Structure 1
Amino acid sequence: MHWFLAVERRLTRTALELAIIAMALVVALTFYQVVTRFVLGHPSAWSEVAARSAMIWMVFLGLAAAFRMGSMIAVDLLVDLSPPAMRRIVHMIVGVASLVFLAILIWYGTAMALRVRSQNLAGMSITIAWVYAALPAGSALALFGVIARMMEVWREPAGAHDDELKNVEGSV
């Protein structure tokens, strides 16, 4: 279990760092687009598409860290409303539902990326499959976080995991 958590921690941290880089790229590309459009009067044909693509990657890479930290508003509400004895069960149900959802995203995201691999992004000579690949890549990374979170919830005594999991946020 320790090796899995170590691998998951490194994968989640790397995904989060890449999401931050993608966010910086979105900001830079959007700034470039504004300058070329409104200052120079000659809008760039590729920067808007590139910014949108980087934003998609940012979201799906950030998904790994979000799932690992349990940053889901509806889930927090369910956990807070349930009695302490039921909280572990709620966490497990949410974890299994998340795994199913991520598996579906991996399956259909891969199929979609393969389906559009012969199409290029507008204004760029890059296949659009690279954009669609964010779905299965980010979802696969998020699987590790969901499993790790479920393992930590399960190994803690009933009720004790609530405070412990809030501390996990600082370790990612």
Structure 2
Amino acid sequence: MGVIRSIYERLLTGIKYLLVLLSTVLIVVVFSNVISRYFLHNSLAWADETARFLFIWITFLGAVLAHDRSEHMNLDIVIQSVPRKVGLTLLVIANLIVVGILILITKGGFTVVIENYEWMTPALEISYGMVYSVVPACGVILLLQTLARIVKIIKLFGSSGGLSTQR
């Protein structure tokens, strides 16, 4: 289990660095386009497209980090106000719903990538499939995170530890 945890932590670290890089590039691209638009009176044709695609990637990669830290909306108030076993059951049910939704998103993401792989973006001339590949990639990671969380919750049924939606 230590090897898997180590690989997972490296993956999260890589995602953090990638998010910093993508956010920096997004800021530079948007700032450059603003300067170009207002001072040179000429918009950069590729800037809007680049910013849109960077924002998509930042959103999905950020969701992976937020899910790891349990920073998405939780049922904390409800979970803490019911008996322990009921709270754990509610957590499992909520996470199973998340699994179902993630399966739909991931499956749809794979379909979008495959169907749009040869369609090129107008300004950057890169594959839309490459742009949208972040959806199934992050969907798989989110799915694995959620399944691991369910296993952890189920293990709490037998222990005397407190309830928490944290990892």
Q: TM-score, normalised by structure 1?
A: 0.82
- Quote how far apart the aligned CAs of 1:93 are: 1.4
Match of 1:160 among 154, 159, 162: 162
Tell me which structure has the larger Cα radius of gyration: 2
Q: Please give the alpha-carbon distance, in whole angstroms, between the structure 1 residues aligned to 2:13 and 2:153.
A: 20
Counterparts in 2 of 1:14 and 1:155: CA distance versus 1, 3 Å: farther
Aligned partner of 1:7 in structure 2 is: 7
1:35-89 alpha-carbon deviations (Å, 9 max, x no partner): 1111211110001110110110011111111222222225335434543332221
Q: Which has the higher contact order (CA 8 A, sep 6+)?
A: 1
> RMSD across aligned C-alpha pairs, in angstroms?
2.2
Pairing 1:1-172 to 2, within 5 Å after superposition: 1-156=1-156, 157-162=159-164, 166=166, 168=167
**Where is the helix percentage greater, Structure 1 or Structure 2?**
1
Q: Gaps spanning 5+ residues in structure 1: where?
A: none
Q: Please give the alpha-carbon distance, in whole angstroms, between the structure 2 residues aligned to 1:45 and 1:59.
A: 23
Q: Please give the alpha-carbon distance, in whole angstroms, between the structure 2 residues aligned to 1:80 and 1:160.
A: 9
Q: Please give the alpha-carbon distance, in whole angstroms, between the structure 1 residues aligned to 2:154 and 2:2.
A: 14
Cα contact 1:106–1:140 (8 A) shared by 2: yes
Q: Please give the alpha-carbon distance, in whole angstroms, between the structure 2 residues aligned to 1:94 and 1:12.
A: 24
Q: Please give the alpha-carbon distance, in whole angstroms, between the structure 2 residues aligned to 1:153 and 1:2.
A: 19
Identity %: 19
- Quote how far apart the aligned CAs of 1:34 are: 0.7
Residue 125 of structure 1: SS of its match in structure 2? coil
One-letter amino acid of the structure 2 residue matched with residue 71 of structure 1: E
- Quote how far apart the aligned CAs of 1:144 are: 2.6
Q: Gaps spanning 5+ residues in structure 2: where?
A: none
Q: Which segment is superposed worse, 149-158 or 17-26?
A: 149-158
Q: Which segment is superposed worse, 1-10 or 42-51?
A: 1-10
Cα contact 1:88–1:159 (8 A) shared by 2: no
Q: Please give the alpha-carbon distance, in whole angstroms, between the structure 2 residues aligned to 1:83 and 1:8.
A: 33
Q: Please give the alpha-carbon distance, in whole angstroms, between the structure 1 residues aligned to 2:87 and 2:3.
A: 27
